[in-house]
Amino acid sequence: MSSASATGLVSLVYTSTASQPFRETELEQLLAVCRRLNDGRGITGMLLHRDGRFIQVLEGQADTIAGLVDTIRRDSRHRDLRVLLTQSITERRFPDWTMGYRALHVGESRPSGFRDSFADLDAGADVDTTLRALTELTLWFRVRARD
């Protein structure tokens, strides 16, 4: 993990694959527990889920985030956990969300030139692509969170 900023805050983005399919009710139960735990640990962020793949942004103190990622890595419900980006931050992108969540569904028809930010982020090809996709998904998420 990179060194934390003067605030000690980091933002970490990871992807993982569900070991077995999650039903929506199972995800809701898991989210309720995680939100309560995250609130007590000062962790914020967002979780996206599509077709058995997770992308999560975690924000908090560097040591707290490192411990949580180790716990997630050992969780049998996840496999192929890959940290895409860790960066020091001075302020949170998701200050009000202990774990904002959206299930994403792939649309059948896509307009010409369509780019899939979820797939871009999941691929984690390079830092620039990861940051661009994260910014796009963050904006998308915030707009829908207001609905």
- What is the tally of structural domains in the chain? 1
Beta 44-50 vs 53-61: how paired, if at all? Answer: antiparallel
pLDDT digits (tens, 9 = 90+) for 2-61: 445 567 899 999 989 999 888 888 888 888 888 899 999 999 998 887 888 888 899 999
Percentage, residues of the chain above pLDDT 70: 67
Q: What is the mean pLDDT of residues 119-124?
A: 62
- Whether the pTM exceeds 0.75: the reply is no
Q: Helix, strand or coil for residue 134? A: helix
Asked if residue 57 lies in contact with residue 105, where contact means CB atoms within 8 angstroms, the answer is no
Let me know if residue 47 belongs to a domain.
Answer: yes
Sign of CA dihedral 108, 81, 125, 143: positive
Let me know if residue 119 belongs to a domain.
Answer: no
Structure tokens at 121: 């982020």
CATH number at residue 13: 3.30.70.100
Q: Is the pLDDT of residue 119 over 80?
A: no
Q: What are phi and psi of 136, to 5 degrees?
A: -65, -45
Alpha-carbon distances, residue 37 vs 57, 75, 115, 116, 133 (angstroms): 16, 15, 35, 31, 28
Let me know if residue 124 belongs to a domain.
Answer: no
Let me know if residue 81 belongs to a domain.
Answer: yes
Q: What is the 3-state composition of the chain as percent helix, strand, coil, each rounded to the nearest 5?
A: 40, 30, 35
Let me know if residue 85 belongs to a domain.
Answer: yes
Domain housing 33: 9-114
Q: How many CA atoms lie within 13 A of 71 on its CB side?
A: 9
Let me know if residue 64 belongs to a domain.
Answer: yes
